[in-house]
Amino acid sequence: MADTLTPLERLLATVTHKKPDRPPVFPVMLMQGARELGLSLEEYFSKGEHYAHGQLRLLEKFGHDCVIGVPHVVEDTVAFGATLMYFRNGPPSLGKMVLREAKDARKLTAADPKKIPALQETLHALNILAQNVKGRVPIIGAAVAPFSLPSLLMGAEAWVDLLFSDPATRDPILAHALAVTRDFCIAWANAQIEAGADAIVLADGMASATMITRDEFMQFALPVIRETISQIKGPVVWEGVGSVLPVIDLIAETGAAGIILDYHDDLAAAHQVAAGKITLIGNFNNIAMRRWSPEKMKDEVARALAATGGMDYIVGAQGPEIPLGVSDETIRAMIETTKNFQSA
Amino acid sequence: MNLEICRQQFLETLIALDQDRGKQIIEDALAAKLPAEEIIAHVVNPAMDDVSARQTNLDITLSRMYIMARIVETALNRLLLAVPRPPVPRATVVIGTARGDYHGLGRRLVATFMRVAGFKVVDLGLSVENRQFVNMAVSVKAQAILASALLVHTAEELVGIRDILRERKLENEIKFIVGGAPFNFDPEFWTQVRADAMARNATDAVATVRQLIGVG
């Protein structure tokens, strides 16, 4: 069936809970553009111009429904003084922890994201993408959510130790750290929107139900998520990077437009909670996907579309990134199966 | 105070994640002249079994598991100072996260479970080079290397441990076991990095190491 909406119109229909011509399909390809351009990942990620042209090349090649304006969210840590370590086969990591221990978070400060060279490159990538596809194809930005950013700076162990420590010691550190990361996240997300992003994904790996209970989520994470989303000047998608089913109802009330599911989350159950309130994205196992044939991908897409009826739903992976090892044919199967879907 | 009361109190403390109370119960037990080795056998080990069952049943978050393991680890450290003769370790293992990987919760859990199970654990911490794993394993005469990763690409690079073990003809002496989310998401992934085995969680890590190196 031929598409009758542009990718942006399709996304807008979906997030406003109207019936699109077909569901949007977002294979998030952050690294594949390097291969298209014959560059190393370090060269590709380090220059906004390279990254943007890689995204445009992938859009032309696959004909999916979005471009991603941010090469990787680890770059957010550079604003806190981190250096990056590059890999031949994946996104960079921190060279070392920025904070030696949790109590160092008392002195945490962040630079203005617009003044950080690495982040300026991302804004440049967004500018280029906007010049080419703005108003037609959704341009997606991303940032690490305020609750999870401290764990990148001090390590997950120190962050969890802090969360479960004596409240008298914990609360002042937590309050300062979250205020700094919240303000940074808002400023960085809004800078991306000014540069051309249509929506922002907030990656919140420490806040998923895999990591913390619903009560802990309500105590520690939800308030700062709500504050952050209320001040970002565009739609926000929340990504738990783990199971999110137990908190979909809470995220739906924050004003978030979408939520990315983990592959463990029951898609039909999630859809029951989310329908008419928040758009679901996912929930294909992006690690196992490296071994999927195109036929297996077709089955997975068919399963997801059957569970959701193609409403309030965007076809995509958990994570949500497609690893480098997934074949072009398998990625095409995700896109073509979605394009051929006819909702009831 | 007797061992049964101590066991019950310690378990309640674990469930409540009360770290200070956990320390106090162990101090009270030692003050009541309960033998440290008996406390390990009849208080700490059963508590760990309970944590393990919760992990297996997936009815506990990773953060809570981690804090429970910290309470157990603190208790164990205190008790090992109080035993008349330090127990002879079943074997030695080296553990760490892959280079570039700073996700250490799972690694700490496994380290604690291994120690409670009677292994000597040399923890290299976060972002460990493949060569460091092997060099340390040789240096401490470890029978196994346990490498953990959360990211696909850092997990993929662990294959370098196998290459070094092969190059140095250490494959018979040192077993190579991997764990972490990517290996759980794709149960065939461990074969790609040519590990001897994978462990799905901390409990499984203990069982896997025991089986591979042949200790009870």
pLDDT tens digits for range A138-161: 999 999 999 999 999 999 999 999
Say if residue A297's pLDDT is above 80.
yes
pLDDT at residue number B114: 95
- Provide the total of helices (H) and of strands (E) in chain B, helices listed first: 12, 5
pLDDT digits (tens, 9 = 90+) for A29-50: 999 999 999 999 999 999 999 9
Q: Do B154 and A288 touch (CB under 8 A)?
A: no
- Which range marks the domain in which residue A295 is found? 7-339
How would you write A185-245 as a 3-class SS string? HHHHHHHHHHHCCCEEEEECCCCCCCCCCHHHHHHHHHHHHHHHHHHCCCCEEEECCCCCH
Task: State yes or no: ipTM above 0.90.
Answer: yes
**B116 or B158: which leads in pLDDT:** B158
Domain ranges of chain B: 3-82, 92-213
Which chain A residues are closer than 8 Å to B157 by Cβ?
A: 87, 89
Q: What DSSP designation does B158 have? A: T
Residue A5, CA atoms < 13 Å, CB-side half-sphere: 20
CATH topology of domain B3-82: 1.10.1240
Question: Strand A139-144 to strand B175-179: parallel, antiparallel, or no bridges (unpaired)?
Answer: unpaired
Distance from CA of A156 to the nearest CA of B (A): 6
Q: How far is CA A246 from CA A209, A283, B70, in A?
A: 7, 15, 26
Residue whose C-alpha is closest to residue A154's, from A234, A226, A81: A81
Three-class secondary structure of residue A116 per DSSP: coil
Per the CB < 8 A criterion, the answer to whether B52 and B46 are in contact is no
| CA separation for the pair A77, A152 (Å, rounded) | 7
Say if residue B179's pLDDT is above 80.
yes
What is the distance, to the nearest Å, from the Cα of residue A52 to the centroid of all Cα atoms in its chain? 17
Q: Do B157 and A87 touch (CB under 8 A)?
A: yes
Q: Give the residue from A287, A291, A318, A322 with the most B CB atoms within 10 Å of its CB, the best one to mutate.
A: A287
Say if residue B216's pLDDT is above 80.
no
Say if residue B58's pLDDT is above 80.
no
Q: Do B70 and A87 touch (CB under 8 A)?
A: no
Q: Do B103 and A156 touch (CB under 8 A)?
A: yes
- Let me know if residue A2 belongs to a domain: no
Nearest residue in A to B154, CA atom: A90
Per the CB < 8 A criterion, the answer to whether B144 and B91 are in contact is yes
Name which of B64, B108, B156 is nearest A157 (Cβ-Cβ): B108
pLDDT at residue number A320: 74
| CA separation for the pair B180, B96 (Å, rounded) | 11
Sheet holding A236-239, edge to edge: A67-68, A139-144, A199-203, A236-239, A258-260, A279-284, A313-317
| CA separation for the pair B178, B164 (Å, rounded) | 15
Other Cβ atoms within 10 Å of B2 Cβ, number:
10
Distance from CA of A96 to the nearest CA of B (A): 8
Lowest mean pLDDT among A89-93, A252-256, B58-62: B58-62
Q: Do A97 and B61 touch (CB under 8 A)?
A: no
Question: What are the tokens at A46?
Answer: 């380090």
| CA separation for the pair A300, B40 (Å, rounded) | 48
- Let me know if residue A1 belongs to a domain: no
Which chain B residues are closer than 8 Å to A288 by Cβ?
A: 185-186
- Let me know if residue A344 belongs to a domain: no
Say if residue A224's pLDDT is above 80.
yes
Question: What are the tokens at B198?
Answer: 């994978």
pLDDT grade, residue B103 (50/70/90)?
Answer: confident
Q: Give the residue from B14, B58, B63 with the most A CB atoms within 10 Å of its CB, the best one to mutate.
A: B63
- Report residue A131: phi and psi, to 5°: -60, -30
Instruction: Tell me what the mean pLDDT of segment B183-192 comes to.
Output: 94
CATH topology of domain B92-213: Rossmann fold (3.40.50)
Average pLDDT, chain A: 95
| CA separation for the pair A210, A240 (Å, rounded) | 9
Average pLDDT, chain B: 93
Name which of B64, B104, B189 is nearest A287 (Cβ-Cβ): B189
Residue whose C-alpha is closest to residue A241's, from A142, A320, A315: A320
Nearest residue in B to A83, CA atom: B100
| CA separation for the pair B194, B176 (Å, rounded) | 9
Evaluate the CA torsion angle B13, B17, B18, B21 in order and state its sign. positive
Q: How far is CA B118 from CA A20, B6, B18, B115, in A?
A: 60, 21, 25, 5
We report the CATH number of the domain holding residue A65 as 3.20.20.210
Say if residue B13's pLDDT is above 90.
yes
Say if residue B48's pLDDT is above 90.
no
pLDDT grade, residue A1 (50/70/90)?
Answer: low
Nearest residue in B to A215, CA atom: B61
pLDDT grade, residue B52 (50/70/90)?
Answer: confident
Name which of B20, B62, B102 is nearest A211 (Cβ-Cβ): B62
Distance from CA of A312 to the nearest CA of B (A): 26
Per the CB < 8 A criterion, the answer to whether A98 and A77 are in contact is yes
- Let me know if residue A32 belongs to a domain: yes
Distance from CA of A135 to the nearest CA of B (A): 34
Nearest residue in B to A159, CA atom: B63
Question: What are the tokens at B19?
Answer: 């770290």
Q: Give the residue from A93, A161, A210, A212 with the most B CB atoms within 10 Å of its CB, the best one to mutate.
A: A93
> Percent of chain B, pLDDT > 90?
80
Distance from CA of A133 to the nearest CA of B (A): 31
* Beta partners for residue A199, in sequence order: A140
Three-class secondary structure of residue B89 per DSSP: coil
Per the CB < 8 A criterion, the answer to whether A209 and A231 are in contact is no
The structural domain count of chain A equals 1
